A and B are shown apart, each in its own frame.
Chain A
Amino acid sequence: MPEEASMRDAYGETLVELGKANPDIVVLDADLCPSTMTKYFMKEFPERSFDIGIAEQNMVSIAAGLAASGKIPFASTFAVFAPGRCFDQIRMSIAQPGLNVKLVATHGGLSVGEDGTSHQAIEDLSLICSLPGFTVIVPADAIETVQAVKAVASHQGPCYIRLGRPKLPLVYTEDYRFELGKAVMMRPGTDATIIAMGIMVATAINAATELERQGINCQVLNMPTLKPIDEAAIIKAADETGAIVTAEEHMEHGGLGSTVALVIAKHQPVPVEFVAVRDTYAKSGKPAELLERYGLTAKDIVNAVNKAIKRKLKS
């Protein structure tokens, strides 16, 4: 079993590191600092920490005001609440004026588990990607989280990072260097390409290993930056392998699959299959049970790859 680590801890610890280096970094939370792990920063830099209480709309607009005054605010809550609860505040206070706010939302996707529908963000990426000017990142493990948080701190403009609740297996080693807007080749292959992000990257690698046993040589791309997406990498993958499967812990609409399909349709039409939550809400359950119930396992990816390859051979 690969080593597991918490993305949320990685975020919290990186914030402290950033805070030590840059006095303009400020942190906001909405009464969830022990869960989002902003608690580390809040303990270290109380004068630069603002727990706004259970008022996400207020938090988002306050963060915008801080950014308009030269600060670099990191604002955190659960992904269901930002962007969901405060979409208009994000749109008008942050996105339209292009203010330098960093929203880091935790507890994304179905892997939240037992808390159920109200706490399972499966539409957040669709909402946030619809806002012009936002940079959107979904890291695949704790190591990529550290790098992504550092990258957005030095990037001018609105950013959204989505993290998950559970510990995840590490897909990277410490020498990994995240590059904003760049896909990362996790495993080369010739028959098809799996494009995945977040929790689904490790699952995609497992699926590729299983496919290898079936005699299928499958490439895996990690797409940590959902927006602006690495179009060149997608076009190259479509060109070289002729079949694409996307995998995400999100609704089929408006997330990774939709974005990749847009690029494919415009530039390099090949068969695309989508591993994502269909048009439904989920329910309480253990993360693994939910991922299985809603079609987000390695087996689902294997089936999707086989389907995509079949379509490719037919055409």
Chain B
Amino acid sequence: MEWLDHLSLGLSVALSLQNLGYCFLGCLLGTLIGVLPGIGPVPTIAMLLPITYVLPPEAGLIMLAGIYYGAQYGGSTTAILVALPGETSSVVSVLDGYQMARAGRAGAALAIAALGSFFAGCVATVLLAAFAPPLAQVAFKFGPAEYFSLMVLGLLAAVVMASGSLVKAVAMTILGLALGMIGTDVNSGMPRFDLGFLKLQDGLDFAVVAMGIFGLAEIMANLEQRERRVQVTDKVGPLYPSRREFRESWPASVRGTFLGSILGILPGGGAVLSSFASYTLEKKMARDPGRFGRGHPAGLAGPESANNAAAQTSFIPLLTLGIPGNAVTALMLGAMIIHDVQPGPRVMSAHPDVFWGLVVSMWVGNLMLVVLNLPLIGVWVRLLKLPYRVLFPAILVFCSIGVYSLDNSLFDVWMLAFFGAAGYLWTRLGCESAPLLLGLVLGQMMEENFRRALLLSRGDFTTFLTRPVSLSLLIVAAGLLLLIAVPVIRRKRDEAFVEE
């Protein structure tokens, strides 16, 4: 049993005292920012990237991953208690979770969410361990043409799943790819688009861009809205779900887990989409759909399990193909590159300790989160009362210092302000930031594979269409585009995102 060896290697890495500590720290931070509205996992991971420079790669990645899935737990806590989703992925949990809390079942709702998430985390970890190696084997057979087509598919799928205008999202992706061209050309050693700045010859740092377009731009967007007074439910009630609540929620958890696991693997899917999909599924399957929105446990258990499963399986394409599916995994890809772990199918063989350590740490982290979250609910509730006027200056400090310490360069601080302004501007124009970040991270890789594919084919563009794997990837990509262009489906998609 080869995978048993892998899991034991993973256990030995993940259970080392140091990594347990960083996993704990990541989960704690993740829960914290999940609870706090107005700051999400993307800017947090970007802010903490510079700090992980001093850590060994596995410790750094374990901590950053912990932030991501920790945020899923934290976000649901606030969704249930105060109808204020800390993260977009827990928006659906408000519907039935908050109603349960109002009926005096807050404790049970929190327990259902936590246990459902934990179950999903366990299953997703096993899936990750089982599916990553064969997928990496497939990826080994990929040439540059296949890789290029895979990236086209990945970027397009991410765009199709995103809300809003398709054309704008594609354009933002290409803008990101173009921004990725800034810096020294790997092949000729020629600096490109450096505008005379020596610093730009190293390329744009994606952490700076991410902090600008997610961190600063979000602060500005939040400050425009008046601060909402938070009504905190003080009575949490017993933590144990009743027999009936348990019976109604576990099948939903199981379905949510599998739905989330599948959607998480798809690029662009991730946690948000899967929680919505799971809610819809539960409502369709229920015998009494009228109870949904009025505190049905299944309406909470399904989406909570789904978003956690998806948060974890979204690491599969990152770890096996080196293709990130959403903004968080894009940042993780950057973190791996910083630590000299080249993302892609070779991670598993070249850095088995990092790979399996990360996988097992996700399971350990999920266990920690259950243990951490249920008893500490009182603390999280109190944190909710932290006013934004205390929180946002702190975020400003973390962003500015984080950016500066990346390279001890003031230029990066100016770039932070620049991308903050740019991010603010384009969200005003209805353009999303996440596709740009994906493009920025993939830009150089995409150019390199495009170049090599055409070098091998001596400039024959049909190489992308004559190689069967590449062709099928492109057909799927074209199919996605067609699908979205069909008016009926397009309307459905718009409807699905309206609820968001």
Q: Tell whether A pairs with B.
A: no
Instruction: Tell me the B residues contacting A by CB distance below 8 Å.
Output: none
Instruction: Tell me the A residues contacting B by CB distance below 8 Å.
Output: none
